[in-house]
A and B are shown apart, each in its own frame.
Chain A
Amino acid sequence: MSWQKSLSSTIGRKIMMSLSGILLILFLAGHVSGNMTLLMGKADAFNMYAHFMSTNPLVQVVANVFKLFFLAHIVYAIILTAQNKKARGGQAYKVTNKDGSQVSKYMGVLGSVIAVFLVVHLAQYWAVMHELRGEISTTTIDGVEMKDLYSVVAVSYANPMIVAAYVISMFVLAFHLWHGFASAFQTLGLNNKRYTPIIAFLGKAYSIIVPVLFGAIPVVMFLNS
């Protein structure tokens, strides 16, 4: 079997799911660290960060790679979910068991909510930053003129509905990762008596800490607005 053929096998597709998932985990770690500048109390810190992220050429390359992996993750999720549904067959059980990880049974649903969140999120900030939508003013920091994304964010987080939707989305993300983080390593064959307990612990820690940090931003900004 050639490796091209291997990639379209059930395990090959799972490996793509897993690798793209791990990259997205790395991406979110970076994203949440950067966003912490929103909580520094000054608009400048975040605006400088946003300016750097939208102008640095290396960041552009990395961002495009992540976009590709996001797309791959979603495409493979759709293919695998359809394949698994077909394998299960048309006739459902009358009584069903509750064995195994319950969260893992809702990965597709949880992921779809994240996808919807992503679209709204990009429309709200990315599209505005790139002047595809809405209005954005400019600000001058240390003699450099840059866009005032901070104000765009601050205005949106003064709206309790947006804050609530954001927090709910972070719960969904937490559940997705509660299973996804450790699952990605099992898929890669990295199940080992010594490392699996560490991976499982890191997975639980990550899936609580990162969504909590993300979720804290709109809540704090709302309370300060």
Chain B
Amino acid sequence: MAGKTINIKLKIWRQAGENKPGKFESYEVNDVSVDMSFLEMLDVLNENELKKGNDPIHFDHDCREGICGMCSLYINGKPHGPKHGITTCQLHMRTFNDGETIVVEPWRASAFPVLKDLVVDRTSFDRIMQAGGYVTVSTGGVPDANEIAIPKTVADEAMDAAQCIGCGACVAACKNASAMLFTSAKVSQLALLPQGGAERKRRALAMVEQHDAEGFGACTNTGACEAVCPKEISITHIARLNREFTRASFSGNETDYQN
């Protein structure tokens, strides 16, 4: 099986640890099968580095099929590389040319500190989720699936928002390092449905408060996020978040009234 192969050069950000200085290192990988994924190519590079006794390049990954949101990498100036609507693990080497130099950087944002090389700390997203990205359910028997009628168009819109895998590409691409696309997807997927609607006010306020506390920036409606999002989350969800937040801020809550 001698498929097509290419030789590539890489410039990769290397950083020993958090708050340590970092710099770009150059690498060459030869005879890369064009059918390899980008991460498989990095695996090959790391094998070579290990054989030479060097510290392998650290990068995040898990499912390698575009669903977990662990892989990141800012490739040639774009989160998840040059292709549209895919994650780094779904990017194939056939996208690149023989002899090309590929620049690989970590996500950069104050709220995503680099831990090592290309690995960043994205627990700020977890804390936004913990602030309100859930529904409080009294568990009981499993309800009948069609007991609550939800129009198909609404269910579709909620599903579109629920596609967000929390990868952070939106933040990486944003000139303001704003996490509004992520936060809005998480607010939307619940606010659109009757089960999530009950806690919508508290949720919108708490998640935005946490978003700000983590040090993410404010949205300037630039739209770089939706252009790079592997799940093609639309900024119409940001408009919904703005509505949810405004409504929650300026209208009363049941618990605001005193008996």
Contacts and interface: CB of A to CB of B under 8 A. Distances in A.
B244 to A, nearest CB: 8
A9 B209 CA distance: 7
Interface string A178-196: 0100110011111100000
Contact of A10 (B24, B211, B222, B239): B211
Contacts of B244: 189
A97 to B, nearest CB: 5
Given A84-B217, A189-B239, A191-B236, A10 B110 contact: no
Contact of A11 (B24, B79, B110, B208): B208
Interface residues of B, number: 53
Interface string A148-168: 000000000000000000000
Give the secondary structure class of A's interface: helix
Contacts of A105: 175, 222
A15 B248 CA distance: 14
Interface residues of A, number: 42
Nearest to B215: A87
B199 to A, nearest CB: 14
A100 B224 contact: yes
A101 B221 contact: yes
Interface string B209-234: 10110011111111111011000000
Contact of B178 (A13, A84, A191): A84
A30 interface: no
Interface stretch (B32-40, B43-51, B101-109): B101-109
A77 to B, nearest CB: 10
B77 interface: yes
Given A10-B208, A99-B78, A1 B249 contact: yes
Interface in B90-125: 103, 105, 108-111
B11 A189 contact: no
A94 B11 contact: yes
Nearest to B256: A2
Contacts of B257: none
A92 B22 CA distance: 12
B218 A80 contact: yes
Interface in A74-99: 80, 83-84, 86-89, 91-99
A84 B176 contact: yes
A54 interface: no
A187 B110 contact: no
Interface string A1-22: 1010111011111110000000
B105 A104 contact: no
B249 A3 contact: yes
Contacts of A188: 242, 246
Given A191-B236, A191-B238, 17 more contacts: A6-B250, A11-B218, A14-B219, A84-B175, A84-B178, A84-B218, A88-B110, A89-B108, A91-B108, A92-B108, A94-B24, A97-B224, A100-B173, A101-B223, A189-B243, A190-B239, A191-B235
The 6 A-B residue pairs with the shortest CB-CB distance in the complex, in nearest-first order: A87-B217, A191-B239, A100-B224, A189-B243, A6-B249, A95-B77
